Structure 1
Amino acid sequence: MTDTGLLKGLIRCLDLTNLNDDCDSAALAELCKKAQTPHGNVAAVCIWPRFVNEAKKLLAGTGIKVVTVVNFPQGGEATLAVEEETRQALSDGADEIDLVMAYQALAEGRAGFAETQIVRIKRICGEKVLKVILETGALKTPELIRAASELALAAGADFLKTSTGKVAVNATLEAAEILLSVIADSGATKGFKPAGGMKSAADAVAYFEVAQRVRGDKVPDPDTFRLGASSVLNALIAAIEGREETRGTGY
């Protein structure tokens, strides 16, 4: 049986997510309510940019951060539009930005474009946390995943995030190990966020165990470790309370 202290720590590291196409104000309100659990609040809610202002009001006084996504999910190359999207999100009150890297440009050998886009978005974010989504399932090879990780850190990423949750292959333990190894090798205090595909408490624990083994994490710390998921929260609560766990569906 997994230690309940660890499970509660993982709840505090969760970016509770609704990036469904049909998300509306009612779904947002439910998400923000769900983010406040008897076993502690999640780190953040991760939502579409259009809901940032509304989420800030719903979460006022809770300490829960508001995260939004830009250049999502395609990781396109319209940098000026992404810059404007980022400025608007920050103006609306976003605490953190999750940027999809222009991973297709990187895969095509145009690493400079992908790097420059991250640099420009980080400049806008300033002291705000910038997580860079590498879309590791689309990059496929360990070599390209490592190259993307190194590039993102060099360009100013505060966190490396595996996936959008919108492609066929999202977070994997193999990709997680590569991202964490690059962070460890850099010597910098940077964060790691697996996202997409986590359904059970065991899934969440497995990612933290990789962080423990590769990077030496001692306890789950939301400043350096996040879990991007919509359905794993119920599983973590069930495990803490000793109830039968039902595997979730969704992001």
Structure 2
Amino acid sequence: MAQQTPLPVIDISPYLDPASTPAQRAITAKDVDSACREYGFFYLVGHGIDEGLRQEMLRLGHEFFSLPQAEKEQISIFNSMDRVRGYARLGENVTSGKRDVLEGYDIYREFPDPSSKMLRGAQIWPSRPASLRTTVLDYVSKLIPVGQALMRAMGDALGIENGAEAFEEIVKDPFWGLKFNGYPPLSTPDLSEQEKGISCGEHTDYGGLTFLLADDHIKSALEVEAKDGDWIKADPIPGAYVVNIGEFDQEQR
């Protein structure tokens, strides 16, 4: 059973405000250090992303997953050059050998010269919702500086001399990915052949940082494994992201 112990809440604003003091940034860096070592997860506030834009991203996700199945499958990952971008229907996502009870739409940063190499292809976009592409790109452009700020705080938290500068090579031109996930009720009749009782199994994320934006009405959906092996609820809280560190490897960039 999941614990009720709340995850820490970190204010990243000192790393986004050029007028902040070294003392203010030091407090944030210390909080980041503690959260990453103890949990690997935390809530992030002070990010400055407009709440209207965040809610529009959620709305667009709902609209996309409400489209007719045949229309969604026009942008199937199997129609993309690198077979990782696009729509994955219910059961096509697999975690730890089990099919996930979710459908997804994967978006990654595009490269000028697409090739057959993984994650080097062109993105495929749906015709509906009409505003999805422009909204996603606007949203990402605003979220990237938040990720860069958090990485710089990590550099300082690690005690690296001139931590921000040391991490600059990593953060200055990030490769990003964004995924819309749609979770049908586990009681949906046509899920009889799917794995039962859970939407997505235990896993770790690839990449350096994950910023999770979830519907506020979702409760007890995400749980985080604690050091003692118990689980901690990570329900969404207003205005915050749930952030976790992943398995980023500089050699894989």
Larger helix percent: 1
Larger Cα-atom Rg = 2
TM-score, normalisation: structure 1 = 0.28
TM-score, normalisation: structure 2 = 0.28
